[in-house]
Copies of this chain bind each other. A is one copy, B any other.
């Protein structure tokens, strides 16, 4: 008897070969699509049936609709022109590993439910830790995203703060001082979400001021810590960032580690994006002091060619993590001595076999291949930054320690006068906003923005395994074309709609 509803072995074999073809075809033709989707809200939904089909449909019908309905409505994260946010790109190794992961379907919650998955996870973390130049004291787990990793670290820090939140909670008690978390005003929003989720609240998140390189000001941190201690608060965690999302700023981690050591506060390092660069000796100095952190997050699914999701949370001491969350109900108990149950670190019980992705990746690219990838990106970023310095139409808006370039175009008036900075902040911001919208409408590249010192700033972030020199060059060319077009079209070009074809 065939398995009710599922494909027979023969049908599956044929279907898998067919999808393998579709996948290879998609990779070959991805540049035919605009990176940023051109649909309007509701446009995709209007093409989808209002109810689930009653009867099974053939694979070809699904693949046809994938081509007809889904692809035109997607922003293509694996397009080599994806230069927005931080890319999350899928190497061959990552895609093939995910195919195997889904087939095995292993839940790596307990050692006994997944001995090889549990031990492979521990081992690839050792490999990664070693490549990153971190001391042996660090072990870790793989979680889904940096948001989850930083939240998990905050729960451990909260437990380590000694108010017995696990047993007693934080409510209905008069003996719990205000627990406070410290980040720079450039830190990622996930830290704010973590503080909210953990019951600390937004007002207990201290956004410490930054210097002219957007790096946390150590003195300001010390002042705030002192003032909070005087007010009776309990500093719970400091999060330093190496490579902020906004501008890739690098907080002075060594200095912050000193401050944390003296105050006895948990130090978490968010290197979700930039972490892999620690594999390069020439970049290692930017990571000075991170080896003294209590916890570190690095996301292979950002700058390391691994498909979403894969976030590595490293830590020195498993105990506060277990103390904050480990629970073993009877139906999950096993008598396995000496085994490690990964469900004990983290909120989610079910855990995908993500280590297989890193295993495939490390082996199919080799450490040398990964370093070559990072160096290619760094070179492309340096080249683009040079253009921004050289070209009087543009200016660099922040240092470029990694693969992300923050820049602005000078508005028409300024451009005509050789790059003089306009005094009208709003006109300046509008000009750059419009420039970005025009560039993104063109199709071959997708940039995003941030705001630095109140000024609208374009970001070009290089991190996709697919991005080559020609894509970054295309971005520069399109930026120049659109900028000149805006300048030539007169002042009223700002905010004007114009259809562009690729």
Contacts and interface: CB of A to CB of B under 8 A. Distances in A.
Contacts of A363: 53, 56-57, 61-62
A252 to B, nearest CB: 22
Interface stretch (A260-268, A342-350, A393-401, A481-489): A342-350
Contacts of A126: 50-51
Interface stretch (A2-10, A286-294, A314-322, A410-418): A2-10
B20 A24 contact: no
B165 A196 contact: yes
Contact of A6 (B37, B77, B92): B92
A360 interface: yes
A339 B438 CA distance: 20
A375 B336 CA distance: 36
Interface in A150-207: 151, 155, 158, 163-174, 176-179, 188-190, 192-204
A78 interface: yes
Interface stretch (A105-113, A212-220, A381-389): A105-113
A89 interface: yes
Interface in A1-46: 1, 3-7, 9, 11-13, 15-17, 19-24, 26-28, 36-37, 39, 41-45
20 contacts: A5-B305, A6-B91, A16-B20, A16-B96, A39-B116, A53-B367, A57-B363, A70-B117, A75-B106, A75-B112, A75-B114, A84-B113, A98-B99, A99-B99, A102-B307, A148-B348, A169-B196, A193-B347, A245-B329, A331-B459
A4 B48 contact: no
Contacts of A88: 105, 107, 350
Given A103-B26, A196-B165, A6 B39 contact: no
Contact of A373 (B5, B9, B112, B200): B5
A54, A115, A307: most-surrounded residue (chain B CB, <10 A): A115
A339 B41 contact: yes
A473 interface: no
A291 B178 CA distance: 39
Contacts of A119: 42, 44-45, 48, 73
Central interface residue in A73, A113, A328, by most chain B CB within 10 Å: A113
Given A337-B41, A450-B331, A5 B369 contact: yes
A147 interface: yes
B364 A115 contact: no
Contacts of A95: 16, 99, 102-103
A348 B147 contact: yes
A430 interface: no
A494 interface: no
A338 interface: yes
Contacts of A362: 52-53
Contacts of A147: 347-350
Given A37-B115, A69-B116, A168-B203, 12 more contacts: A9-B28, A16-B23, A17-B17, A55-B368, A62-B359, A74-B114, A74-B116, A76-B104, A146-B350, A167-B202, A169-B195, A171-B234
B24 A9 contact: yes
A365 interface: yes
A130 B52 CA distance: 9
Contacts of A372: 4-5
A117 B50 contact: no
A72 B70 CA distance: 39
A367 to B, nearest CB: 5
Interface residues of A, number: 183
Copies in the complex: 2
Contacts of A41: 111, 115, 336-340
Given A105-B78, A147-B348, A197-B197, A56 B115 contact: no
A423 B367 CA distance: 63
B369 A4 contact: yes
A309 interface: yes
A413 to B, nearest CB: 25
- The residue among A51, A94, A104 with the most chain B CB atoms within 10 A of its own CB is A104
A95 B9 CA distance: 13
B366 A19 contact: no
A59 B309 CA distance: 22
A449 interface: yes
Interface in A112-136: 112-117, 119-120, 122-124, 126-128, 130-131
